Every structure is written in structure tokens, then in C-alpha cells.
Structure 1
Amino acid sequence: MRAQGVALPEGPLWDAFLEDIEARLSEAASQAQSTQALSATTTRLVALMENLQAAVLVESPDHRVALANTTFCQIFGLDHTSWSLVQQDAIECLADCAQCLVEPAQLMAIADAGARGDSVATVPELRFRDGRTLSLELVPIRLGGEGFGHLWMFHDITARKADEQRFAAAAAELAVSRDKAVDLANLKSDFLANMSHEIRTPMNGIIGMAGLLGDTQLAEQQREYLETIRSCGESLLALLNDILDFSKIEAGKLSIESIDFDLFEVIDDLTSILGANAFNKGVELVCYTAPNVPRLVKGDPVRLRQILSNLVDNGLKFTSQGFLEIRVGLAQDGDEDVLLRFEIEDTGPGVKPEALPRLFQSFSQEDTSTTRKFGGTGLGLAICKRLCELMGGSIEVESLLGRGSIFRFTLRMARQKPGHEASGLAALPPVFLVGLPPALYRSLRVQLGAWGLRTDHLPPVPESLDLLRSLPEAWVLGCQGGGNLSKAFFQGLLEDPKLSCSVRSLILTSRYSASQQKDARQAGFKELIGIPVRHGQLLDLLSGAPRRKGATEGTPAATAAVELAAPRLLLAEDNPVNQRLALAVLKKCGHEVDAVSNGLEALNAAMAHSYGLILMDCQMPEMDGYEATRRIRERQVGRQRTPIIALTAHAMVGDREQCLECGMDDYLTKPLRPDALVATLNKWLQPPGDPAK
């Protein structure tokens, strides 16, 4: 072997030597590569650590500093560089760092636990003497084959803690502001409730006594003065009601109930109460319910009655002649719920087209002349709109100037389980409508036809009796007219032996005219139906169903004389004026009444005597009406339950619910309207001789 012309030794020994040299050179090259790779990895690791915002210290298994970054030295204020800390005792290093803390022992306890191999938890806060705050994460790590060390990571959370403190302060300030707002809202509600009570109490006396005075003999000028007093009182009451309702809606305190109720009964009660105004104005108030409308539904009857009352009142206010009709139909049908459509049509002056878009806005009326002529706040329609929306419906208006208006609204109601509906009426005898006013005739003919009954018009003349004699059976729904021919027709119905057996006569008389009812009874007719017609009552009569409470024929007008004996009542009312008013109305209806002035007296009287019904004022001395009712109910367990009707000057959200929860059955607000009072009595009292009694 030669190397550059020089002869080299040969032989086995020399070959072994060369192989060893080659192996050593290869190993050295491999080590150099590993060292270079390790150096590159270390460089990358150090660069990574130096770029971390956290302070990092790596503790080796023998509790030496393996690595640290510059941030660690800066945060703890160490004079060392990060490289100069390497291989120093980690526990001693941490002990130096702990001197910066408010509680040095906190960090040392963690270090000692780590040195013993105990598991240690993350520390959320380490507070420095200079006001800074750090968090600590201690993570076990494996360092090659040497065993487990620890990675110490300190995060400066001073800024975050400051933000949290600011947020906490802001939240506390917001909570204080919220509490103040709630207190202010409650104060406003309490103020409105108290003002409502204080205003309604004297208003009850003013309006009620004016109504009683109107039933006495007065000169024409005196009656004009009295009507002015009554009108002003009603306007003030309407203003108070609108403001209360609107404030409840705006405050979000108006809740919508979902309870079972009879839709027909709600509409019948409404027409009975509002019909007095229509009768006094000479306007026909009629109603039609489509045959597919369910009678038993689930929703909020109070809010439904409020919407209908606002719209009917509004229509009657602007209608001086003609009619006002309430129509109920089905917009959508479903297995679980239905969308009911209500229409209120009047023959008033109508609304100008340019005024329609703002009709449902708050405090809005057609123009200022409307307010001057008819009064009102312009809140009623806005309240109706908000209530419809809360109940899953909508409202709109269609109007022709000089022709009248139609207000339409929809409400979603759940179905009740099936009950008594208009079924099986097609097999009944034909029904003849005799002497009815035009609007009432149209309404009844459509309604009876929708129920499947055969109907026809029959003029009230003696010749019509021959047609009735030719039929095996027939019904007559009629109004007695003033002419001689009409009198002869109705007299023939009563006196003809055949007709008295084959024809069933239902005579329609105004609920608000005692003279009409008296004339009909004196003529010999026994079955009277009040106008406006209660469709639930009419349906029950035609189908032969037992009458429900509230389906009695009598009149809800306070002026109507009650000839039959009425049950004895108990009146609990502490205000002398209100007590005198209620006594006058009740006695005029034929009731004997015991009056007491506080809840304790009411309790004692209810336990000592049997009353057909109790009228209970809610706010009374010694014991209020709520507590008196609760105690009466406790003592009536297992005995006949006496209906208790709340009388209250409060009309805020929750008042009705409070009355019902304590055991009361119904709720009347003051001022006490005689027509509403008597309608409520008719609802809860069974008349003598009633088949259902």
C-alpha cells in the first residue's frame, strides 16, 4: 500500500489499526452531528423561552436550575442573567425570589412540597410587595433518562386583576343602579296603586250616587246637570283606567293568563254590561258567532274582555244611530289550538284614510276635534294593540268615511277538552223571527242558521197564526210591537189552545227596560230573553241543555225590578258612601242585605247566617277582606261554598290574582257600576225555580 508515493506497512496488525482509526473518526463525526443537533434544539428552546411572556424556570430532578429565561430574572428583580442561574440550587433560587412576595412562605411551601415529590396545585395568585400579582403553574416534566423535574411558569396577571376589579366595581355600581331602578319602578307602581285606590273610592260614590239620583223624579234642567256630573265622572274613570293599563304594559308587569273559560259566556257578559249604553243611545248591539268556533277554550278571558270592551266602547262612542255588531270566527284551526278572529263593526262616521296609520299609536286620535267632541286619551286602541301582540295575535282596522268602521283582531287560544257545543239542533222545529229590529233579525237569522236551525221571517199579524196552526211544532222568537195587529198576534199565541201546546214562544225584551219586561209578563209570557241576546243562554234553551250559572234571563240593569224573592246577601264595606251606594243598588234588585264594616264582622256574620253571596271589600280595618275570606273558606271545608265577590279600588297587576288565591270567586273594581254588579250577581246566583237549582 502506498500513500502519495510513500510505502505503508502492510499486514493484519496494520489493517486492524486502520479499521480502529476509521471507527473512531466515524464516531467523532456522529457525535459532532448529535452535538450540533442538540445545540440547534437548545438554541430553539432558549429562543422560545425568551419569547414567552411568562417567567420560566426548569428544575432538574436533582433540584438544580436546568434553564431559565430573562423574563424570570426581570420579574423577580434578580441580578443574574438567565444563563448564570443554570446549575444553581433551584430551591435557593426560589427562596431569593420569594423575598419579593407579600407572603414568602407561600412560594417556599410549594417548593418544599415539590422537592418531597408531593403533588402540588396551581396557585391562582401570588401577591408582590410592589402591588403586582402573579399566578403560578407547576408542571412535572421528564428530562431524558434522568427522571422527573418541574417546569415553573409565572404569569403576570396584574393588568387582568385590575380589569376584574374595575369590572366588579362597574357590576356593583350597575347592581346598585338596577336596584334603584327597581325601587323606583316599585315606588311608581305603589304610587299608581294608591292613587288608583284614593281616586276610585270617591269616584265610586260620585258615579254611583249620580246613577241612583237619575232614577228619581227630576226636572229637565236637574237631569241635564246630573248627566254632566255622570259624564265627567265616567271620563275621569276612563282616563284613570287607560293610564293604569298603559303603565303596566310599559313596565312589563302585565301578565297573560292561560285558564279554561267559556268563550260564549265572556261575550254574553260583555254585551250584557255594555248593552245599557247602546240601549240609551238607540243603537242595536248584536253578536254573531260562527258555528266552527269552539265554545270552550284556554287563554286569558280578562284581557279578551278588555280588548272587546275597549273596541265596543270606542264604537258606541262614535255611533249615534244604526247598529254595532260583534262577530267571532275562526282564522286558523288546529288540533291543539285555534286562531280566533274577532270583528267589531259600527255604523259611525268612519275614519279618514290619512288617520288610519296612526290610529293604534299612544295618545293618538283622528284629530284634535275628536278629543274635544268625544273625549278620551287616545290610549285605548294602543292598549288593544299591545294586548293582541302579547296574546299571539294582531289588530287592524278598515273604515269608510261616512259609512262606519270594522276593527279586526286575532288571538291564539288553546282548545279545551270537548264540551257541550251546538250539535243536534237541525232536528228541532223551525224557528220564526217575529217583529225584530233589522240588525237583530239579521244577526239571529245568521246565527240560528249557522247552528243548523230552519229559520224564517213571520210578520206579527193575525194571519200568521194560521201558518203556525198548520205545523206540528214551531218556535217563535219575537219582540212585541206597539200596533194593534201585533198585539192581536201575540195575544193569539197565548189564548189559542192548539198554539199554546205546539208553539214555544221566547219573547225578547231589553235588559235595560223594566217596562218592557213588565208588559211581557203581564201579557202572560213566561220565557223572556234579554237584548242583547246571550248566545250561550239561547243555545242552551234551544238544545234543552241545563242552564249554567250566569245564563239567567233577567236584566243586569240596576233599574230593573226583581219580582221574585232574591237570596239574602252580606256586604262588607267600610266606606259609608260606598256602603250606602251598594245597599241601594242591591235593595233595588230585590235583595235583603246585611252590611258590616270590617273583615272580622264579615267573618262572624258569615258563620252565624247562611248567605246566597258575599260582597267583600279588600281593604278594611281590624281584618282585611283577604284574611276574612281565607278564614271563611277554612270553616266552610266540607260545607256548601258561598260565592265571595271582591270589591276593590285597586286595579293594578296581581290584584285579581291575589283575590282569587285567597278564595274569592270573582272580582269587581270600583267605581262600582250597577250594571256590572247585577251582571255578576246573575252569574253567581241561581234564580228561584231554575231547573239547574
Structure 2
Amino acid sequence: MPYQIKHFILIFLFNCCFYAYSQSEETEKNIAIKDSIENYLINASEAINTDKLANALQNISKAKELAIESQDIQYIAQTNRVLAELYLELGDLNSAKEQIKKAIEIQTKLENEIALANSYNVCGSILTKLKEFENAKKHLDLSASLTEKNSLKELEGPIQINFGLLSLEMNEPESAINYFNNGLPKIESLQQSYYKAKLYIGKAKAQMMLGLLDDAVSTNELAMNIGAKMGFLEIQSESLELNSRIFQEKGEFETSLINLRSHERFKDSLFNVNKEIIAQDARAKFNIEDEKFEIEELKEENKQQQKSLKLGRLTTILSIALITILSLLTLSLYKNNNLRARANELLQNKNTELILAKENAERASEAKVQFLSTITHELRTPLYAVTGLTHLLLEESPTPNQKEHLNSLKFSGEYLLSLINNILDLNKLEANKVEIENTSFNLQKRINDVLIALGKSAKDRNNKLHYEFDKSIPAKLKGDPLKISQILINLIGNSIKFTQNGDIWITVKMINRIENKVFLNFEIKDNGVGISDKKQQSIFENFTQGSVQINRKFGGTGLGLSIVKNLLSLMDSEIKLESELGQGSRFHFDLKFEVFEDVVSNYQEEAKKIDYNIMVDKKVLVVEDNKINQLITRKILEKNKMICDVADNGNIAINKTKDKDFDLILMDIHMPGISGIEATKQIREFNTKIPIVALTAVTLDDNLDEFYNNGFNDIIPKPYKTEEFFTKLHKALSQKQTAT
């Protein structure tokens, strides 16, 4: 390289280092100032929440002085926002509005969405107090949109509170309660004590407006407790004042007066006297600082012009050196860019392929979800007919032999429902999202039921079932009986299917007992066709069978062993297999249970307490398009002396509800014409008191809120257990009777 070029490079590097050093010193100073401003603003916000308003004013003043000194308009805007919050707390709404407007103007120019989200929220709160409701909602909507876009979790709860307070001011207490309920989980997850107390006060006011005075007292007490614990004096004062109003509404005037006097003592001892003094001090101080800011802006502009002249000279020298170096590098960069362009083209092609593959996978996933949703309903609807007819037949005094068959059919129906739920939601099972129940059951009886249900299949293939149950195992255990049945039916059914003229051994032994826990070993052994070593590695995968020939000969989906593996994994166990072609197979696994005394299920226990006299002569409208399901539901109701009417679709149900007086409506969801949800919404427009219970075969995992929000009082999933059915009907009718 020529000497002149080396000389230019050395000069260039020296000047760059000198400039970088001078800039780094200035950067460190700016960082220190910004840290101080942020600390002052954080302290000010905390002081506002704890009602130390003079302290808040002092911190804001220091923050603004530093912001003006550093000429950082971003922090000036933040100072304006916190100052607006202080004015709002002081009751000076016009000054608050003026400060938040300044903050929003600056932040809009800077396109600072996070800061704008906070400012729009404060602005919405101020405008609500000023009764500018439409403008307040507009700003809260903007805040909510930016909060969701930028994932500002800490702001989600306060926004819901401000929406709720706006609804209160607009005399919409029900809407306000919905906002408060939506915001509570978000506030609790972040432990935002101040906002939690504000939320409870707002909710109590809404409950008072709705006439729910006892609920209002309880909710307000929660706010009072937080205020006392955290030292929020304003919260305590507001809670006492609200209590006074609630007890006055209740007619408990002495209690109302006690709360009012306590509130007045808080007002006198707090800061209401000092608020106006602090507000005047703030207006005077910050008006002077705004003028100081304008003067400082002019000075800063003059300094910037002088710096620009110096920088211009330095830039000219550096530019000449830089151009020289860049000229030498151009050729090398040109070649590198050609190589990079080719590599980018290859990467772009690969990215396009990946995007297409991702879109195809997403479409396939959506199609699968839609299919599962549809088939779930289609399978559960006829299954409702099976379980309903079984229940009716069991109540018609069958012979002992018929009763055994009907009990077996009832057990198989329950098992089939569980199987449908797990197979149709297999992706949920594999993601470990299936919930394991924990109820008491008789394991020996459960296995006997499984063997009775599978007895005919074994007899058809001329197989003998040998059952050995350890007598030392306690009669009652605590666990998930349906999942146990599903595991055993899959394993025993598998052995029956792949064994002809053979034997199948089912053995349950107790391995150990520690206090109230027992450890059991389950073994299912057969002398059937067996499984090759190669297939043993994949037999527990979805849709996998021994071979194509086995699939054609024996049938099946290939899902059974996959479900067994996943269910045992959820129960902290593992399925083990030993097999040899032509010699049979042995499946075994261990499970842990708690020993449990006789306890009936909640619905069974509640069913025993039902006063069936409440149901006599009650008029029930059954909204159902399936004729068999109509017949079953009608017979079950009329057996209990209830008067039943039927509507084939939602439109008929609406007209019948207008023309006749019913005590209860049982509403199906999927029907021709309008859905059960839409029919319920229309009925609620003219009748808000009649209990409406969803009797539906749809999957309820993610839809409960939708049902309750659209006017349903309760939900009964089909097919249902009779105890659950009558318990929920009794509850709905009792609540209606109490209300009237």
C-alpha cells in the first residue's frame, strides 16, 4: 500500500478515536441524567398512589429540571404525563388535561407507542372525570390497542379499570362489572395492589347501583383491607364514604353514620385541605419551568449552531480521508456483494419453500380442528340416545338378566363417551392437557364391569378370561376410574382381538403399601399371535398396527395402544411389553393410588338432597331438533311429574316463550335455522328471569364464558349422568323460586 494512503488512514483513525472519546464522555453523562429522571418519576408515581402528594410534586419538579437541562423531549413528555396524574389526584382536571395533551403531542411526533399507551390511558381517565365520555372511550380504545400490540402486561389491568369507571359514569353497571372481572386476574398476576383496591371500589359501586348491597359491602371490604395494609389513605377514605352510602341504601343508618364520620376524619387528617395549596404550588412552579424551558431551548439552539460549525470542519477533513479509503475498498466489496447476492437468492428460495410448507401445515391443522369439532357433536348426539334409553329401561323394572345387560350397556356408554373425548382430542392428550380426575371408586368392581362388557367378544373368539385380583387391595381407592377402564379395555380388547381359541390372564397385585398409598401391578397376558421385535418398537405410536395384513384381518384404528401409553404417562407410569411371535404377549404397568373411604361423588351426594316436590307440575320447554332425543328427555322429565313441551328449533322456542309461561328451558345448541345461543340472546331481550340451561353435545373446554355471557344459567353436556341432570335442574328451579 502506498505511503500516502497509510498516512491518510492513520489520520482518519486518530480523529475517529478522539471524536469517539469525547462522545463517550457525553454519553455517560446523559445516561446518568436519564437514570435520575426515571428514578424521580418512579418515586413520584409511587407517592401519588400512597397519597404523599407533596413528595410527588417534589420528585416531578426535580425530574422536569433535569429533562429541561438535558433537552430530552421524550423525558419531558413523561414528566408531563406523571404531572397530569398528580393534577388528576388533586382534582385539578383542566390542568391535568393540559399536561396530558402536551405529553401526547410530543410522543406522537416521536412515534413512541409504549409511552402513548400509558398517556392515552391517563387521558381516558381524565376525560371520564370531565364527563367527555365519547372522547374518553376513544382514548382508552387507543391505549388498549397499543397495549395489546406491544404486550404491555402491566397496563392491561389499569385499562380495564378505566373502562369500568367510564361505564359507571355512563350508568352501565353491568358492563362495568364485566370490565372489572376481566381486569382482576391481570392485576392479581402482577400484584398491583393499588389498582386492585381501585377495582374493588369500582365493582362495589356497580353492585350498589344494581341493588346487590350485600355483595357491595363484601367487595368494598376487600378494598378497605388493601388500603389499610398498604397505607393507601385515599383508598381507605373512599371506601368509608362508599360504605356510608351502601348502609344508607340498606336502611342501616347508624352504621352509615359511623362510616361517614370515619370518612370525614380521614378527609380532615389527610390532604384535602392541602390539595388546593399543592395544586397552586404545582401550577406556579411548572408555569415558570415551562417558560424556563423555552429560554433554554433558544440557548440550546445557539449552542447547537456553534457545534455544527465545528463539526462541519471536522467532517470535511474526515470525509476526504474516508472517501480515499472507500475508493480502495470498493472493488473488494463489489466482488463480495456478488457472492452474497447469490447466497441470498438461495436463502430466499428456501424461505419461500418453508413459508409454503408452514401455510400448508396451518391449513391442515385448521381442517383437523373443524373436523374434530363437527364429528364430536355428531358422535355425542346418538350416544345421548343410547345413555338416555338405557336409563329409562333401568327404571322400568327389568329382569335380573336384563338389568345385568343394561348395566353393561350403561358402563359401555360411559366408556365410549370417554373414548370419543380422548380419540377426537388426541392432540390434546399428547400435549398432556387432559385432566386426570381424582375420585373414589371400587377397582375390583370396575375391572369386573370391563370383563362383563368384553365377555361377549371373548366368547365369540372362543377365548377364556382368567381374572386374579389380590384380596389385600383395599375396597376403595382414589383415582380416575374412567381412565383406568379405558386402559384396561384397550389392553384386554387387544388381547381378545389377537387371540383365537386361547387364554387371557388379567392379574392385579399389590406391590407395596405405605400409609394411605398403595402401589399396584397390572398384567394382561395372552397366548395369541404375538408381536415381532421390530414392531414392538413402534406399536405404541398413533395409527400403528403389527402389519397391513393384521389391519385387514383384525380391523381397528391403531390408536388403542397410543392412548394407553399417553394415559399412563399422565399418571406417572409406563407400559411395558414382552412378546414373541406365535407365543403371545404380556403387557404390564404399575400405578399408585390413595386408599379412600366410602365417599360418593358431588352430584350423587347432591342428588340425594334434592327435593323432587319442587319439580312437580313445573312447565319445561325442551328445544331439540332430534326426535329421539326429544322423546328421551320428555320421558325423563314426565317420570318426575313435570309438564313438558317441545320446540323443534330456535324460532319456535322464541315464539312459544312469548306466548306461554315456562318455569325452565332446556336449550340445544346446534339446530337448523338459528342456533341455541342466538335463540337464548333473543329470549333474554324480553325475558331475563326464566332459567335457560344448555343441553348440548358440543365440546365445552373453551366455550363456557360464551354460554354464560349470552344468557345461559347453566350447562349440561350430553350424554349426561341422571344425577347431574336433576341436580342442575333442581338448582335452576330453586333459584327461580327464591327470586320470585
Using the size of structure 2 for normalisation, the TM-score is 0.38
Using the size of structure 1 for normalisation, the TM-score is 0.40
Higher helix share: 2
Of structures 1 and 2, the one scoring higher in RCO (CA 8 A, sep 6+) is 1
Larger Rg, first or second structure (1 or 2): 1
